[in-house]
Amino acid sequence: MTDALGLSAKDYAMGMAKKEFGVEDPNAPVGRPQPMPNPALGGRPQWGISTRSNKVKYLTDANGNPLIFDPKVTYIDKMGPQGVYKEARDEKGNLIPEKNVYDIPQEMMSANIELPGGAKGLSVFPKYRGSGMGAGGPGQFIQTAPPEIQKPIKEDDIPLWVHPDTLQSPTPGTSAEEATRQGFKRVTTNAKTQIDSIKGMSEVLSKLGELMMNVFPSKGGIEERIIGGPSRWIGAKAQTSPLATEFDAFTNGTLAPIIRSLGEKGTLADSDIKRAIALMPRLTDSAEVAWGKYKNLIRLFEEIQRSAVQGSKKNVNLMPGKKKEVPSVGYEKLSDEEVLKRLEGK
């Protein structure tokens, strides 16, 4: 169906959608007739002639009553203060007001469109609409499909959404919009492999902290807190201190190999590996130094996992307030106390 403007219903609705909803379609014409001022409407525009037909149409009004058309009369669609009506004219074009037919139901034009945000739906506009007039009203957008960002994340993609703090993925059914709002980031497949390698370190560090509670007491006499390291080391080697022995076995048999394996997989940079190894608490450390190392070891891996999720490979700066990176070379030549002081920027 086309009107006197030569526009199909689809072209009309598409053109109106471009104007009202911001749909960008350079091929869609703006299918609306030019407005004409109407004194009866206080100077506001009314829409002019759109179609002309002398064919009898079986239409009903809003209440379902049949509208009567004279087959000898030519009717012209008009928009008046009360809405659409058909103006009657004789064969010579003279007006026949008594033959006018009012309360014409609005013919709706529609087209399938996609909004700039990605939502898909139906653009629906009345064929005749006047600015400020009750008849017709504004166009409507009936959404049939939400934007991609509002759709649930595909099951295969859920593991690729990772939270930088917890390394967890969102629950099934979460949309990309919700996941982003909750702080999740979508990572590449390569980054996910690195993240999975790092994820196990949280449990390892938690276990290390539990062992340290018994081996490095934060409270106690000066002898135990400060100079108790050598006795712990002797007790572990002589198998007379079970807790020290367990701690020594864990750090040397579990923690160190895991850190080195992360380096072999390319998950950790060489400088990060050296720092992590240097930060492992040793039995010969005093309690103060051991807990200082542990605190910075946790911080190191938190920054590494956050960088993995964010896609950054920059080295971690463990010196607050310092612009330069902590030197990673030469730690082996420093005492534990000197390592701790350098890491804390003292």
pLDDT of 280-328, one tens digit each? Answer: 888 888 888 888 889 998 888 888 878 877 764 443 343 334 433 444 4
Of all residues in the chain, what percent carry a pLDDT higher than 70? 54
Query: What is the model's pLDDT at position 119?
Result: 75
Query: What is the model's pLDDT at position 38?
Result: 38
Query: What is the model's pLDDT at position 288?
Result: 84
CA atoms within 13 A on the CB side of 282: 14
Average pLDDT over residues 12-33: 47
pLDDT of 60-110, one tens digit each? Answer: 665 666 666 777 888 887 777 666 778 888 888 889 888 888 777 666 667
Query: What is the model's pLDDT at position 34?
Result: 33
Phi-psi region of 131 (alpha: psi -120 to 50; beta: other; left: phi over 0): beta
Distance CA 160, CA 225 (A): 45
Of all residues in the chain, what percent carry a pLDDT higher than 90? 1
pLDDT of 192-242, one tens digit each? Answer: 877 877 777 878 888 888 888 888 876 544 444 444 455 544 444 444 567
Q: Which residue has the higher pLDDT, 261 or 22?
A: 261
pLDDT-derived band of residue 46, with 50, 70 and 90 as boundaries? very low
Kindly tell me if the per-residue pLDDT of 48 is higher than 60: no
Query: What is the model's pLDDT at position 61?
Result: 60
Number of CB atoms found within 10 A of residue 29's CB = 15
Average pLDDT over residues 248-273: 76
Nearest to 314, CA basis, from 266, 269, 263: 269
Name the strand (E) or helix (H) holding 232: helix 229-237
Query: What is the model's pLDDT at position 101?
Result: 81
pLDDT of 317-331, one tens digit each? Answer: 433 344 334 444 444
Sequence spans of domains, the chain: 9-127, 150-181, 188-343
| Tokens matching residue 323 | 């612009």
Query: What is the model's pLDDT at position 62?
Result: 59
Contact, 46 vs 131, CB < 8 A?
no
pLDDT-derived band of residue 128, with 50, 70 and 90 as boundaries? low
The per-residue pLDDT of the chain, averaged, comes to 67
Sign of CA dihedral 98, 103, 104, 106: positive
Average pLDDT over residues 171-192: 87
Q: Which residue has the higher pLDDT, 162 or 305?
A: 162
Query: What is the model's pLDDT at position 220?
Result: 47
Tell me the whole-structure pTM to 2 decimals.
Answer: 0.46
Distance CA 59, CA 54 (A): 14
Nearest to 139, CA basis, from 2, 8, 5, 21: 21
CA atoms within 13 A on the CB side of 170: 24
pLDDT-derived band of residue 15, with 50, 70 and 90 as boundaries? low
CA atoms within 13 A on the CB side of 337: 4
Distance CA 199, CA 61 (A): 69
With a CB cutoff of 8 Å and minimum separation 6, the contacts of 232 are: 215, 241, 244, 283, 284
Average pLDDT over residues 1-26: 48
Query: What is the model's pLDDT at position 124?
Result: 74
